[in-house]
Amino acid sequence: MHQATSRKVTLSLPEDLVAFADAKAGERGTTRSHLIGVLLAELRTREEDLLAKEGYRFYAQEAAEFAEMSSIAAAEALDDDRPTR
């Protein structure tokens, strides 16, 4: 996790999630706070990746549509430039 300025916050969690967080933090040799910070950072990264994928899909579709329209226009222009018999 990127080390940034930390800020102390108070969270209310169900008791079973606190126990789960403590167990997972213990398995990883870290603190509950660090574990929660890592998990939130991973969630943010996943959401940013999904947003980027959506953007790439949108622009890929837009580029494909532009290419199709351009090829139609180019074909029409080439046909217009050919001499008629």
Q: Per-residue pLDDT tens for 13-67?
A: 999 999 999 999 999 999 999 999 999 999 999 999 999 988 888 788 888 888 8
The DSSP 8-state label assigned to residue 30 in this structure reads S
Distance CA 22, CA 40 (A): 16
Q: What is the pLDDT of residue 39?
A: 96
CB contact at 8 A, 35 and 25: yes
Find the distance separating the first CA and the last CA of the chain, reported in whole Å. 72
